[in-house]
Amino acid sequence: MRVTFFSAKPYDREFFDRLNADFGFELMYYETHLGPHIVNAVENSAAICAFVNDKLDAGVLRVLAEKGVKYIALRCAGFNNLDLEAAKQYGMRVCRVPAYSPEAVAEHALAMILTLNRKTHKAYNRVREQNFALNGLMGFNIHGKTVGIVGTGNIGQAFARIMSGFGCTLLATDIRENDELKALGVRYVPLQHLLAQSDVISLHCPLLESTKHLINEASLQQMKPGVMIINTSRGGLIDTPAVIAGLRSKRIGSLGIDVYEQEEKLFFRDLSHTILNDDTIQLLMSFPNVLVTGHQAFFTEEALEQIARTTLCSLSRLEQGQTPENPAALLV
């Protein structure tokens, strides 16, 4: 079976080529993202493998179906970029990677917290210039602070376990409460209570209609002045103009984002020799208390290997008329 990849980087090829030795698929790679501009290039492929910024709307799926594509494999957990109803209409089977090294994303969230708090990125640059002054580098003890966790799926659970080791008070909100986290000391509260009580708020929920712009002008007004907000989940959870206003008013003390609502035109590309046409992210990056990383929270060896293995295994089982080993991997 031929599988055509989009948004494929050298590291994707490395892991998929290595693990494909156990499956024997014919793998074809395109570095460009999937969309109307490239979909007609797909030929003789039974499967498409897509990533977070690929466009899988009804129009793209219609063309893929006409070209004989039967399977859509998302090498990620989120699927807000895919029209599930259209996939059903065209008889396509859709699988994803529901969980891949949740510790990778949770640890990156911690790295952002510590960097923003202790300003290690600024200290690094200062010392390289032989400036050993401490002015402007003061942080606060994480120990004893209240950390709010929005979403306690696999990543939220991993994040809670990490922060528990720092001696934090842990609040969480989710439609399902986790008994293991409760035993760890996590207290489930309504979102409004979490927003009002937390010194640090970390987002670990999916992007749905109900969570779009969860952080907005109204929710910011419920937060403590000087709150730290971390988003390693999906860019659309944050209303960016509202957050910029919150930074200006000092309602937000610091912001760490590994995702951005308009990231598909920016992230996973080297734009160091170009002028960005996105004034919003330029403005965000101009704030001294904002840390932006380019959707790298998942980017560990363990996670990439698990993504490749799960994706190839699911495609193999679908080709044989079976369902993926993890029921959560099958969307349609």
Give 85-121 as a DSSP string.
HHHHHTT-EEE--S-S-HHHHHHHHHHHHHHHHH-HH
Annotated catalytic residue: which of 93, 251, 263, 264?
A: 263
Q: How far is CA 202 from the centre of its chain?
A: 12
Cβ contact 54:33 at 8 Å: yes
**Identity of residue 151:** G
Q: Indicate if the alpha-carbon torsion angle 128, 118, 238, 223 is positive or negative.
A: negative
Query: Which residues make beta-bridge pairs with 256?
Result: 230, 291
Annotated catalytic residue: which of 75, 93, 251, 295?
A: 295
Q: Please state, in angstroms and rounded to a whole number, the distance separating the CA atoms of residues 9 and 82.
A: 21
Active site residue 26: no
Active site residue 325: no
Helix and strand totals (H; E) in the chain: 12, 12
Query: Which residues make beta-bridge pairs with 279?
Result: none
Active site residue 319: no
Annotated catalytic residue: which of 234, 251, 261, 264?
A: 234
| Tokens at 277, concatenated | 């046409």
Q: Please state, in angstroms and rounded to a whole number, the distance separating the CA atoms of residues 102 and 108.
A: 10
**Which residues lie below 8 Å from residue 278, measured CB to CB, with a gap of 6+?**
262, 265, 266
Active site members: 234, 263, 295
